[in-house]
Amino acid sequence: MRVSAAIEGKILSRVLKDGDLLPAELDLAQQFRVHRSTVREALRQLENSGLVMRPPGAKRMVVSRPHANKIASGMRQALVLHEVSFVDVWEAMMVIEPEVAALAATRRTQADIEALLRVHQAFVAESQSAAAVTLVVEFFELLGACARNKVLVLAKHSLAQVLAPSLGLMIDRVAQARSRIMVAQQKIITALQGKDAEDARKWMAKHVRDFKRGYEVAGIPPDAVVSV
């Protein structure tokens, strides 16, 4: 649609910045010489994309920055609809995750270490599979934050969301899965505490390889299509 494309172009080129107030619907209708209902539909599309939002009680839209969850959700839907397999996701993780861990070891703060320890300890104490999966995903996402790279954070977030449903099955079916995850998390945290990038890279690569072995033991085919 011409109206949404024009406004989106101004946002992406930063002519309109995060927090800027958009003109009223009537003003936009006059500017683009379209019916007001066309403007409403354009704004709805932009809102669904996370590019604009209406603050509580406000009549006019403001420019917003799409939240990582919204971006990851859209990417997750695309991966599912393109029938991406588990092995596709695993190969992507083997490329991304070890390097993220290495970067995290050199860029982490003490607050990052404390956050990772809290999630690790919660995972150790958690008995419910669904909650355990959530904590595994959170651990990966916290590592992304430690790396201080926005592209990697967004890429990791969508991969973790896609992996989560089948990860729950693997944890349920493989007796040693929890203990191996616990050990890997602790080793990675220790590497980060010592700012040892090579050890962080090594343990993360081993951790991701373990996922593949766990799926094989659980009887989940590597070519199985990921689901929501």
Shared domain for 25 and 77, answered yes or no, is: no
Shared domain for 47 and 138, answered yes or no, is: no
Shared domain for 108 and 197, answered yes or no, is: yes
Q: Is residue 107 part of a domain?
A: yes
Residue range of the domain that includes 55: 3-63
The domain spanning residue 94 has which CATH number?
1.20.120.530
What pLDDT shows up at residue 94? 92
What pLDDT shows up at residue 65? 83
Q: Is residue 223 part of a domain?
A: no
195: left (phi over 0), alpha (psi -120 to 50) or beta: left
Q: Is residue 95 part of a domain?
A: yes
The domain spanning residue 49 has which CATH number?
1.10.10.10
Shared domain for 84 and 192, answered yes or no, is: yes
Mapped onto helix, strand or coil, the DSSP state of residue 222 is coil
pTM here? 0.76
Shared domain for 93 and 57, answered yes or no, is: no
Residue 24 sits at φ, ψ, to 5 deg, of -65, 160
Shared domain for 11 and 80, answered yes or no, is: no
Mean pLDDT by 10 residues, the chain (228 residues): 90 91 93 93 90 90 80 70 84 92 97 98 92 92 92 78 80 90 97 98 96 88 76
Name the residue type at position 139.
F
Number of domains within the chain: 2
Q: Is residue 46 part of a domain?
A: yes
What pLDDT shows up at residue 32? 93
Shared domain for 167 and 77, answered yes or no, is: yes
Shared domain for 102 and 192, answered yes or no, is: yes
Q: Is residue 224 part of a domain?
A: no
Q: Where a domain ends, among 63, 88, 111?
A: 63
Shared domain for 40 and 117, answered yes or no, is: no
Q: Is residue 227 part of a domain?
A: no
Q: Is residue 226 part of a domain?
A: no
3-state class percentages of the chain: helix first, strand second, coil last, to nearest 5: 70, 5, 25
Q: Are 187 and 203 in contact (CB under 8 A)?
A: yes
Rounded distance between C-alpha atoms, residue 216 and residue 81, angstroms: 24
Shared domain for 161 and 90, answered yes or no, is: yes
